[in-house]
Amino acid sequence: MLTRVLQGLAAILLIAAVNFVLVRAAPGDPVSVLAGEAGASDAQFVAQLRTQFELDRPITTQLANYLGRVARFDLGYSYRQQQPVLKLIVERLPATLLLTGSAFALSLLFGVTLGALSARRAGTWVDSGITVVALVFYATPLYWLALMAVLIFTVQLDWLPGFGFSTVGAGLRGWALAADIARHLVLPALTLALFYMAVYARMTRAAMLEVAQMDFVKTARAKGVRPGRILRAHVLRNALLPVITLAGIQAGGMIGGAVLTETVFAWPGIGRLMFDALLQRDYSLLLGTFLVTAAMAVLFNLLTDLVYTVVDPRIELAS
């Protein structure tokens, strides 16, 4: 496990370096944005700004200074927000984790359940119905689902709030505040979960049908083991390994994929912060959000390795 942790840290540093080079290679920079907003084209003023943001130094020097700050957990300073980048991210991180964690749990729970039901009823109308629904949600763009959810459940039916983290100015506390946040969470979490739920349902179905044809399952049937126990203890448990692999990969990517969801629903998370930083050419904030999402992806991959040992202890023995 120590080796995997060291590999993860090395991957994070490599990702930070690649992100730095790619962001610097993109057209536009903070100086042009600030100078344009200030209506100033004075060469001396522009030169002062470039010196302030270290843009007048060679790219290798900028990269070395940036990686040195990252190693000290210093993500820089946001010139737009006038606050440290780490402080801004820490403030937004709980909202993103709440959204993505809820969406991940819902997608995995319902995806595996529907996939198991589809595999158990393979070839029937239940299997066909689940397959069609899964393909529809898989093929539908996420932003379209988000917009339709707002139009139907907020504008037309007025069942659920469509925007924000909580009701502004309500002054709620305790359980009342938690209930209000939960109501605001329903639409964005379900919207984000639908796509991944379809993926897990298809993956679970395919894996269970494959495992059901293996010799140890046939042996269990020949010994008279109850069908329900065979499904749970033999088929589903072994079929979960590829699902867990896919879930571990997508759990980290879900944070980055929440940009569209957070933008449509005005959810105050890292995704929306990343989008605003991109529009404003806020290099430090943009690189900070990229780095945090990459670190979360690496962390989820490490957690996936730990889950493997729970689902199949043979993996731990083999390692």
- pLDDT tens-digit map of 127-173: 888 888 888 888 888 888 888 888 888 888 888 887 888 777 777 77
Q: What is the pLDDT of residue 318?
A: 44
Q: What is the pLDDT of residue 160?
A: 85
Mark whether 26 and 144 lie in a shared domain.
Answer: no
For the chain, which ranges sit under pLDDT 50?
317-319
Mark whether 14 and 149 lie in a shared domain.
Answer: no
Mark whether 55 and 193 lie in a shared domain.
Answer: no
Identify the three-state secondary structure at position 140.
Answer: coil
Mark whether 37 and 180 lie in a shared domain.
Answer: no
CA dist 9 → 5, 20, 69, 225, 308 (Å): 6, 17, 15, 47, 21
In a domain, 82, yes or no: no
Mark whether 61 and 185 lie in a shared domain.
Answer: no
Q: What is the pLDDT of residue 49?
A: 66
Q: What is the pLDDT of residue 164?
A: 80
Q: What is the pLDDT of residue 316?
A: 54
Q: What is the pLDDT of residue 235?
A: 80
In a domain, 83, yes or no: no
Beta strands in 26-144 (DSSP E): 77-78, 83-84
In a domain, 290, yes or no: yes
DSSP at 11: H
Give the count of domains, the chain.
Answer: 2
In a domain, 85, yes or no: no
Q: 77 phi and psi, to 5 degrees?
A: -130, 135
Indicate the pTM of the whole model: 0.78
Burial class (CB in 10 A: 0-12, 13-18, 19+), 183: middle
Mark whether 179 and 42 lie in a shared domain.
Answer: no
In a domain, 81, yes or no: no
Mark whether 230 and 275 lie in a shared domain.
Answer: yes
Q: Domain range holding 42? A: 2-74
Q: Give the side-chain half-sphere CA count within 13 A for 258.
A: 38
In a domain, 269, yes or no: yes
Q: 201 phi and psi, to 5 degrees?
A: -65, -45
Q: What is the pLDDT of residue 317?
A: 43
Mark whether 98 and 150 lie in a shared domain.
Answer: yes
Q: Give the side-chain half-sphere CA count within 13 A for 175.
A: 0
In a domain, 256, yes or no: yes
Q: What is the pLDDT of residue 319?
A: 46
Measured CA to CA, the distance from residue 276 to residue 263 in angstroms comes to 10
Mark whether 152 and 13 lie in a shared domain.
Answer: no
Mark whether 238 and 288 lie in a shared domain.
Answer: yes
In a domain, 287, yes or no: yes
